[in-house]
Amino acid sequence: MVDKMGRKIAIVHYHLRRGGVTRVIEAAREAMESRGHEVLILSGEPPLGDAKQVGVRVVSALNYRKTGSSVVAENLAEKLKQEAKAHFGDLPDVWHFHNPTLAKNVMIPTVIRELANEGERIVLQLHDFAEDGRPSNYTSQRSFFDSESSFEETLYPTARQIHYATINCRDHDFLRAAGVKEKNVHVIANAIPELRVRTKPEDRPFSKDKLFALYPTRGIRRKNIGELLLLALIYGDRVDFATTLSPDNPEWKETHEMWRDAISELDLPVSLGVADDGKQNFFDLLGWSDFIVTTSIGEGFGLAFLEPWIIGKCVIGRDLPEITRDFSKNGVRLDGLYKRIDIPIEWLDMAALESEVESMLRRSYLAYDCGMPKGAVKQTLKAWIKDKRIDFGVLNEGFQIEILRKLKSDASLLDQIAIPPLSLSTKREIDESSEAVRSAYNLERYGVALDDMYTAVAQEKIGKVKHLATKKVLKQFLHPKRLNLLRN
């Protein structure tokens, strides 16, 4: 048996601001240090507030940047090695990069190429993909390189000693389909921490005579706020709905304000951004809720489907089977989720819909410098429309508000849509799912998976560095049936 103890792990990220990836890095450090490994975090900026400073070295060139050069990138690779040697006394056994292909810093793929060509053992953990509805990121990364061949030969390196980590099985399958060998790609599901929730529904200072559903989200477009309004239109006599935060991005703020106006116009029991001003504590809001709601049309890991159970709340809303299949396998109940909300297609102007779909497809394929496939519009509509009914969640804001106004003006039309059930889980069902989440997504299990991956990488012989064809990765995401008017 090969000794796993005492490995030197260098974790590299753009920053340590509060957020999902920072939580993952902190969990990894805790899990690895508890197993006797030594962890160095290399960050573009220091941790905020009272975050742990020990074992963190700041390399400012790691921070977000859209420009640079190969020379600067090579210097950054040397700087990372210098900092690692200063900390460990030697180079690390494994370099672990988070989101290296997302173009948050366009030099990082070149940095990784330099380390890989020197025979360093590397883990590339992909939480998000530029290919997944982020064409501006993809364009920024391509623009960094002098030629298309440089881009192709840098973005997704492969070798025996280079392993990939994903946070869900969908991304694992996509990388496999693109050409990564099975033994070189690992699913490392995030650990779910305990949440500091002390309040209860009966203690809340509002919604005394109704249920309260909280959507813990920032109201960006893919969170599908229009569908939250549809749920409020259907169940507003029994339920008050709220989101926690408004978007920061000025482009998204305009759309968000449109939904505020629609809430007022349609007189719906929805409050947006209730935690914006800091007067409402996030954890208090969680505790006060009767259940958690989600209408998102796209997630990476899917914390919204897991965290509620550990605080005794069930989850109601839109299913994302590509993501939730992992949770169901681990015993988490997802009975309150629906896959579609079907609307009669005759409620929409088909010519306008076809025009919007064609425009979306052309923009998407052009943004990724790809030719639009023949019959793409027809293929997309075929995926969206079933038995002359279309899913509300694939429509953009213009179509969604048109439908909301139609339903508000004639409540009898609700009989013509597939209304999702509002069936709350029993205490026993919540307890079962809570136990399933704690069992499958605890820090100990996360640490075992991470440790096994590091061991596999550290034991690999050094092989020749090759690369994936970038178009093969892009193909997994840029498929007509996967596109959506709210994201593309």
**Per-residue pLDDT tens for 309-358?**
999 999 999 999 999 999 999 999 999 999 999 999 999 999 999 999 99
390 lies in a domain? Answer: no
As given in the structure block, the two tokens for residue 220 are 């960006």
Region 433-456: what's the mean pLDDT?
A: 96
- Read off the pLDDT of residues 210-225 as tens digits, 9 standing for 90 and up: 999 999 999 999 999 9
| pLDDT at residue 51, rounded to an integer | 55
Question: In the numeric block, which tokens belong to residue 18?
Answer: 């509060």
Which residue did the predictor score with more confidence, 193 or 225? 225
Shared domain for 246 and 280, answered yes or no, is yes
Q: Rounded distance, CA 50 to CA 57, Å?
A: 16
Within a 10 A sphere around the Cβ of 88, how many other Cβ atoms? Answer: 15
The mean pLDDT value of the chain amounts to 93
Residue 482 lies in a domain: no
Asked if 123 and 164 count as a contact pair (C-beta separation under 8 A), the reply is: yes
Same domain, 55 and 72: yes
The reply to whether 47 and 137 lie within a common domain is: yes
| Residue 3: predicted pLDDT | 47
**Pairing relationship of beta strands 315-318 and 337-338 according to DSSP bridges:** parallel
CA distance 336 to 308: 13
Has residue 1 been placed in a domain?
Answer: no
Query: Is 384 inside a domain boundary?
Result: no
Domain that holds residue 319: 201-340+419-438
Is residue 480 in some structural domain? no
Query: CA torsion 358→359→360→365, rounded to 10°?
Result: 90
The candidate with the shortest Cα–Cα distance to 481, out of 390, 395, 383, 396, is: 383
Q: Does 37 share its domain with 78? A: yes
Co-location of 176 and 227 in the same domain? no
Clarify whether residues 139 and 30 are in a common domain.
yes
Q: What is the average pLDDT across 379-384?
A: 94
For residue 262, what is the domain's CATH number?
3.40.50.2000
Is 430 inside any structural domain? yes
**Calpha distance 364→347 (Å, rounded):** 26
Establish if 392 belongs to a structural domain: no
Do 167 and 218 sit in the same domain of this protein? no
The H helix count followed by the E strand count for the chain is 17, 18
Query: Within this chain, do residues 134 and 163 fall inside the same structural domain, yes or no?
Result: yes
Whether residues 161 and 47 share a domain: the answer is yes
- 91 in the same domain as 237: no
Q: What is the pLDDT of residue 2?
A: 39
Residues 98 and 44 reside in one and the same domain: yes
- Give the model's pLDDT for residue 276: 93
Domain count, the chain: 2
Q: Where are the extended beta strands (E) located within 394-441?
A: none
In this structure, the answer to whether residues 212 and 108 fall within a common structural domain is no
Phi, psi (deg, nearest 5) at residue 442 = -90, 165
Residue 358 in contact with residue 485, Cβ under 8 Å? no
Arithmetic mean of pLDDT, 245-253 = 87
